[in-house]
Amino acid sequence: MKTLFHTLAIAILAKSKSQLNMLLQCSLLFAALFISVPSTAQAQQLGVIYAVMDNGDLMWFRHEGRGDGSFRWASDAGKKVGNGWNVKQVFSGGDGVIYAVMDNGDLMWFRHEGRGDGSFRWATDAGKKVGNGWNVKQVFSGGDGVIYAVMHNGDLMWFRHEGRGDGSFRWATDAGKKVGNGWNAKQVFSGGDGVIYAVMDNGDLMWFRHEGRGDGSFRWASNAGKKVGNGWDARQVFSGGQ
């Protein structure tokens, strides 16, 4: 389906052998995505990539060559900005917000204040619990507090976290809204602005646009989506930006 996924061109490049090995050892990898024309502070946050290592460390990288694909990084080896990230799923909510789904189904909110320079600064030491019962097959951000979850029965659920800015336990609805069914895809991720991509078991890449993204209504640009590619037999796929 995110990311945040308003889209940001992310190239996972390694500037040195040590950096390559570090990225290859990651159990989870995701990007901090930002939208709109950036200010100076926001510009420092573009190209930020987070990696969760097998030992639970959270590493920060910033690809300085994001605009042209050049082999330039803010630091050679990245920076450690957290530990204990032994979670089931993790995804960016934008503007430094990171959500983590714990093994017990709790949804945790964090905000990395040091996202611009990779410093070890967070809004809270331990994060905030903003949900429970998130025992889902896949979850990803749709931007602006919107979170999509693919349930084990193939239902697509829409949620909007009203407390995204401060980590408060406030949601647009108590139980979310069902906005789709039959989402039995291998991978699903957001392309931003309501666009959702799905990689099917046969390798087809399908495009959907959720017209009801703003309020969680069951409105789509087309009933069945559109096939926009084939041969997507990839280990992992995600949006790279506008």
Digits of tens for pLDDT over the chain (242 positions)? Answer: 333 333 333 333 344 445 545 554 555 666 554 333 454 455 556 799 999 999 999 999 999 999 999 999 999 899 999 999 999 999 999 999 999 999 999 999 999 999 999 999 999 989 999 999 999 999 999 999 999 999 999 999 999 999 999 999 999 998 999 999 999 999 999 999 999 999 999 999 999 999 999 999 999 999 889 999 999 999 988 887 65
pLDDT for the residue numbered 19: 52
Query: Cα–chain-centroid distance for residue 121?
Result: 20
Is the pTM higher than 0.85? The answer reads no
Sequence-distant (≥ 6) Cβ neighbours of residue 91 within 8 angstroms: 2, 3, 4, 30, 98, 99, 139, 140, 141
| Residues in Cβ contact with 35 at an 8 Å cutoff, skipping those fewer than 6 apart | 6, 94, 143, 192, 242
**Any bridge partners for residue 143, and if so which?**
146
Q: What is the pLDDT of residue 36?
A: 39
The residue behind tokens 């979310």 is 176
The reported pLDDT for the residue numbered 18 is 52
Question: What pLDDT is attached to residue 22?
Answer: 54
Cα–Cα dist 65/67, whole Å: 6
Domain limits, the chain: 17-229
Q: Which amino acid is at 208?
A: F
How far apart, in whole angstroms, are the C-alpha atoms of residue 153 and residue 104?
Answer: 19
Q: Does domain 17-229 have CATH number 2.120.10?
A: yes
pLDDT attached to residue 28: 60
Predicted pLDDT at 241: 67
